[in-house]
A = this chain, B = another copy of it.
């Protein structure tokens, strides 16, 4: 399966502003891209690439004052398989994990493990100490949080989501991640492209998506408290502790998003 992916973002920038862009496909999946990656910025400015502390490919620019456009278009090859299943797997004991897993057990800006720890054990302490505990967390968040774009705000943390029970994609994932970490299961936040492949077309406009990954039996598996189903065609852009680490764009100064288009479409198969 080939998936066409891309975006066009427009900003209004009042004065020259440094920006960090997490807008490449993750190096783990970049080998499946049809074309070399290129973030096109208008007006043309230097785009400096770097690999961040989590292994993501990032870019940074100094956006000039005025209108700014950022575009990307590509195709990626995908197996067309649903997310790998973690059913039946055991949990890795903490002391048997590689050390690099441990940072995904700790609290982060939007995932206050310290604050939600007692609650996590009350809600999930009686579940089997296996993949079923992971599933219980994902299902609970899916069932108890109401989705709505109007519920988004930048300061919203997992604890807020637990209290308010409302949110967008990222809020669902933050709460699930926090519960998992409190239960000593490593969990990390993931952003990327996720189209309506194999599911009924969504009424809302295309958008980037946020999901998460949990560590079971020595490997990372996608989890998604927003949809609570195994999906086809996830294209990872970045991974981190939470939305802070992998914000698609981070501006060090004012920058107003004025328009926003994202595409993630399965391409028709071409006869050989």
Contacts and interface: CB of A to CB of B under 8 A. Distances in A.
B245 A115 contact: no
Contacts of A95: 18, 60, 62
A4 interface: no
Nearest to A160: B155
Interface string A238-265: 0000001100001011000000000000
A115 B244 contact: no
Contacts of A144: 118
A76 interface: no
Contact of A60 (B60, B99, B109, B159): B99
Nearest to A184: B252
A165 B52 contact: no
A77 to B, nearest CB: 30
Given A155-B115, A155-B164, A20 B108 contact: no
Given A114-B154, A163-B115, A163-B155, A107 B62 contact: no
Tell me how many chains of this kind the complex includes.
Answer: 4
Contact of A153 (B20, B102, B105, B164): B164
B109 A107 contact: yes
Nearest to A149: B150
Which of A62, A95, A144 counts the most B-chain CB atoms under 10 A from its CB?
A: A95
Interface string A93-126: 1110001101101111101101110110000000
A60 to B, nearest CB: 7
A103 B247 CA distance: 12
A271 interface: no
Nearest to A165: B118
